[in-house]
Structure 1
Amino acid sequence: MNPFSPTQSVGTLLTEANRHTGASEIAAQVLLSAWNSRDFTVPVENLSLLDGDNYQHAINVMNLRYHGRAPQSVIANGDKKFHALWRDWSHLETQRKEAA
């Protein structure tokens, strides 16, 4: 069983995304994909860049969506924090091809 609460998981991954380390990009992708999966995706193979605890946090965030909860809803000022995350990582948005 995962010992982390959803609030703790979202907060921890937000902190990791804002540190700009090797795991920051995948932390941001997990959060942004759970927030807006039309524009952001998670490359599953990159989950291996997370250490064990952060991997469990990522699973928790994905599990939130399985249960119909948005990640920004479990933290204080979530909308503001996720918009800031989007601004910082907007270059990760999925490029969609226009229908011909």
Structure 2
Amino acid sequence: MSRMNLVTLTQYQKSVFAMLRAERANTGASEVAALVLLSAWNSDDFSLPVAELCRLDDDNFRHAMNVIELRYYGAEPHRMVPNGNELFGELCRRWAGCKSSTAGAAA
């Protein structure tokens, strides 16, 4: 994670929390927020259709990009928050219906 210099770890953590809040808000953006987090956590089972990012408002779009950047640098989003394993396990169960049949196909 030493290459992370554009965004601080605190900002990454805030972005993960923001996506968790957006997922729980029960809005049109909830599924997108869930898929941002789940695909960064487990892309074998979940994938984020990029066009769906348009459903996020400006702030949550930036948070989504931060989560994606965090993963790019090799960090896992569930490690950015307390009780991350439990939170992401619950997230996975709530959105199990969004599991991708094609995720991991490029591997």
Shared fold (TM-score, shorter chain, > 0.5)? yes
Q: Unmatched 5+ residue regions in structure 2?
A: 1-5, 103-107
* 2:50 aligned with 1:44: yes
Query: 2: distance between equivalents of 1:2 and 1:25?
Result: 25
User: What RMSD over aligned residues (CA atoms) do the two structures have, in Å?
Assistant: 1.5
Code of the residue aligned with 2:69 in structure 1: it is: N
Q: Which runs of 4+ in 1 moved over 3 A?
A: 1-4
Deviation at 1:18, TM superposition (A): 1.2
| 1:67-86 alignment runs, 5 A limit | 67-86=73-92
Kindly, what percent of the aligned residue pairs are identical? 44
Q: Deviations over 1:7-55 (max 9, x none)?
A: 0000010011112111000000000000000110011111000000000
Q: In structure 2, the residue corresponding to 1:53 is in which secondary structure?
A: helix
TM-score, L = length of structure 2: 0.85
Q: In the comparison of the two structures, how many residue pairs are matched? A: 96
Query: 2: distance between equivalents of 1:2 and 1:52?
Result: 17
Q: Unmatched 5+ residue regions in structure 1?
A: none
